[in-house]
Structure 1
Amino acid sequence: MPYWLVGTVVVGLFGGGGGLTGGDLRTQFGAYAVGLPLAAVTALFPLTRPMSVAAARTLCGVPAERFADGPARGWEARARTAGWFTLHLGAGALVSGASLALPPFAAAVAALPFSPSLRASELGAYWGLDGFPWVWAAVPAAVLMLLALAGAAAATGALLARRAPRLLGPGPADLLAAAERRAAEAESRNRLARELHDSVGHALSAVTLQAGAARRVLNAEGPDLEFVREALTAIEETTRRTVGELDRALGLLRRGEEVAEGVGPGLDALEALVRGAGPRVALAVAGTPESVPEAVSREAYRIVQEGLTNAARHAGGAPVTVRLDVRTEEVEIVVENPLPERPPVARPHGGRGLPGIAERARLLGGTTGAGPADGVWRLAARIPR
């Protein structure tokens, strides 16, 4: 209606029409012809597409996944949206106008056989139905008018339903944005999986090691109760810290949020991590860990954590040495433990520990290496600061 009103003013100014509500059919269709381009121009605004998609999903019976989400990206998507908007308004204006005008006209035509005054009016003269039996032809003619109106409305709806997915569906830019969104979601889930693997896996290994050591000490003659007390304290600290990390990760998963890069413990929590790993783990730090950037500090902590987990699983309680050097432009991490007398039992499909460490370092531009060297198993990582 707003576009038609503007078109009526324009036609009235330049064509001498009869105003907003008057004028012949030529004036009305002239206003219609002026209003359609105006509708197409306004439909080029990006936010037109969400409004049009909402209407099409409600009215056209088309599955929601066939439509694009969000504002139109790029001129190609805007042009398709403008095509839909113009088609929708143009066809809707014709059907609406016919729905307003035709039913009263059909009722008047159907009343011709029963009203001499109507037959004597201009309507009766126009139809020429002033004799029997032709006057009764007005009734089926009126019914046919209403059926034609219903058919036109149904055909228009079917046309719009067929064109809606093509004109309002996703274009190349929308498909690319959806692919990037899926990739980001997959990366977030992979990051969450790494966090859970490292934190929970290390906690279970550390708790198992401490509990086993405490049991052996209690079963020995003259048990060292102080050692048992330290082991139980380490178990308590480890489980409390891990439960907090697990709650944080699961809370993000429940809310559907991404795992933030900078969230989680860093090198400032390294001493507590080593203390919880048992009395046979030694830590040597060179430099100031507080000077390491947050992202690097967080990943370095996880690398040390995974190194301790591997040592607890495969070193058989042997002493473990952790060396951290942050004095240069790189953060250097070395985790060493003596090679066990028997090689550890390998998993059928390999573990996720060492690949996870390599992936963490690679994301920050670093390198890792792991393997036997000089009678010890050595895990080494270098990460640029």
Structure 2
Amino acid sequence: MSAAARSLFGRRARLRWVHLILGGALAMPYFLVGSVIIGPVTGSTDVFGSFPLQLASFAVGLPLAAISSLFPLTRPLESAGVRWLCDVDADRIAMGPARTWGEKGRTAAWFTLHLGFGGIIAGASLALPPFAAVLIVLPAFAELRDPRLGLPEVFDHTWASALAPVAGAASLVALAGCAAGCGALLARWAPVLLGPTPEDRLAAAEARAADLAVRNRLARELHDSVGHALSAVTLQASAARRLLGTDPEFVREALAAIEDTTRRTVGELDAVLGVLREGDAPGTAPAPTLAADLDGLLRRTRAGGHRVTARVEADPEALPTLLSREAYRIVQEGLSNALRHSGDRVTVDVRIAVTAGRLDIRVENPLSGSASSRPGGGHGLRGVADRVRLLGGTVTAGPTAAQTWRLHARLPMTP
């Protein structure tokens, strides 16, 4: 099918034609009300028998349609029709009710145009095809020239009768062209009259940004809690397997640590997934903090065979809840890195102190061999950097001259 034929009879053109026919159907009640007004005004008893009076009735009905478009559901319904039938991108159309007078005015203009164009195209679609069909078959049926059938007298001539099929086919093509043109105009005007305002676009952008921020936060929580738990459980199970026959007490402690780690992680996972599951109530497990679980975090890490020395020179109970929670995750990530990337049974040094109005956190452990990078740990360190940045602090992570790996974060005590 050529481009010209597709523009007149393709799927898009057909759907827009349907949209116009629906507009004509919606215009019919207003047309009938207009005819009730025009009849007494003109003194006519047969409004439908006069084409000028029909046009006058239609013209009177359109302002009534504009007034009725103030009904709140008008814009959502019209917007849905435009999206489905006019091939207009969804993000260019506002689906909610018109709130301001400007939006209501644009909705009224759109509704009037839809019903105006739709009424004209629908009327032509009802009247023109039968007339065109008569013209097409006119040379084969001479009795169709009977004046009582309403054909123009010009078709009584032989030359006109021979050209009648051409005129009939041309009238159908003209109808398709008018429908396609009106449909294209409505599709072009729809984003202007039914589209979101700059305020709507700003609100949508802010909502998307807020949703993205929530998703990023949940991703960090999942990475930190589940990632740490898997590293810890793997190391604890490995240590228990190696010492199964020689140190039953250590194996018992490792299994208890695995149970404690998995139980706590399932609670944290349920809390995070509760936020992600739309319609579900969020989980009730509180986010861990230094005050609530620092000792448990260190104990579970030691159960995997690592020696952890901790110097806590700050009162966890006195820290703000948000600061304590984020500091816990930073310490957790530092210990997770040590579990994943250092050798067996190494010493991990943890220091938490308050200096110069800032919470100072350091997690340090020996490098494994001559490695100076940690493949696979980038997401966790990026998560730490995001947490620190949101709190207005600073963070560094990397090898030191003493062949250790150090994670060092400084967080302000107050926002």
Per the TM superposition, whether the score is higher than 0.5 is yes
1:193 corresponding residue in structure 2 = 219
Q: 1:278 aligns with which of 302, 314, 323?
A: 302
Q: 2:288 aligns with which of 266, 288, 292?
A: 266
Deviations 1:121-176 (A, max 9, x none): 6x66x9558xx9649967975x6786466334422331244234422235663655
Q: Which amino acid aligns with 2:172?
A: A
CA RMSD, 1 decimal: 4.9
SS at match of 1:70: coil
Matched-pair contact (CA < 8 Å) for 1:209–1:312: yes
Aligned residue number for residue 347 of structure 2: 318
Query: Which residue of 1 is the match for residue 331 of structure 2?
Result: 304
Q: Are residues 115 and 147 of structure 1, via their aligned partners in 2, closer, same or farther at CA, if it must alter by over 3 Å?
A: closer
Q: How many residues are treated as equivalent by the alignment?
A: 367
Match of 2:249 in 1: 226
Q: Which runs of 5+ in 1 are unaligned?
A: none
* Deviation readout 1:243-302 (Å, 9 max, x if unpaired): 55456656766x5799x899862223444433322254458572537x844x55543332
Does 2:208 match 1:204? no
| Alignment-derived partner of residue 8 in structure 2 | none
Partner SS for 1:332? strand
- 2:9 matched residue in structure 1: none
Q: Tell me how far apart the structure 2 counterparts of residues 196 and 176 of structure 1 sit (CA, whole Å).
A: 30
Contact 2:341 2:368 in 1 (8 A): no
Pair 1:379-2:408 in alignment: yes
| Aligned residues with identical type, % of pairs | 47
Equivalent of 1:94, from 87, 97, 120? 120
Is residue 311–residue 351 contact of structure 2 (8 Å, CA) maintained in 1?
yes
Counterpart in 1 of 2:361?
A: 334
Amino acid at match of 2:236: Q
1:111-126 alignment runs, 5 A limit: 114=143, 119=147
Give 1:109-258 correspondences, 5 Å limit: 114=143, 119=147, 127-128=152-153, 134=157, 147=169, 150-169=172-191, 170=195, 173=198, 176=202, 179-180=205-206, 182-214=208-240, 217-218=243-244, 223-243=246-266, 245-246=268-269
1:100 to 1:139, Cα distance in 2 relative to 1, 3 A? farther
Q: TM-score, normalised by structure 2?
A: 0.66
Q: Is the 8 A contact 1:81 1:167 kept in 2?
A: no
Q: What is residue 356 of structure 1 aligned with on the other side?
A: 383
**Conserved? CA contact 2:397–2:405, under 8 Å:** no
| Distance change (3 Å), C-alpha of 1:157 and 1:264 | farther
CA contact 2:35–2:57 (8 Å) conserved in 1: yes
8 Å Cα contact 2:132-2:168 kept in structure 1: yes
* SS across alignment from 2:257: helix
Distance in 2, matches of 1:349 and 1:204, equals: 14
Residue 7 of structure 1: which of 17, 34, 37 is its match?
A: 34
Query: Residue type matched to 2:32 in 1?
Result: L
Alignment partners' CA distance in 1, 2:53 and 2:29: 16
Q: How far off its partner does 1:49 sit?
A: 3.9
**Cα drift, residue 229 of structure 1:** 1.0
Question: Which 5+ residue runs of structure 2 have no aligned equivalent?
Answer: 1-27
- Correspondence for 1:288: 317
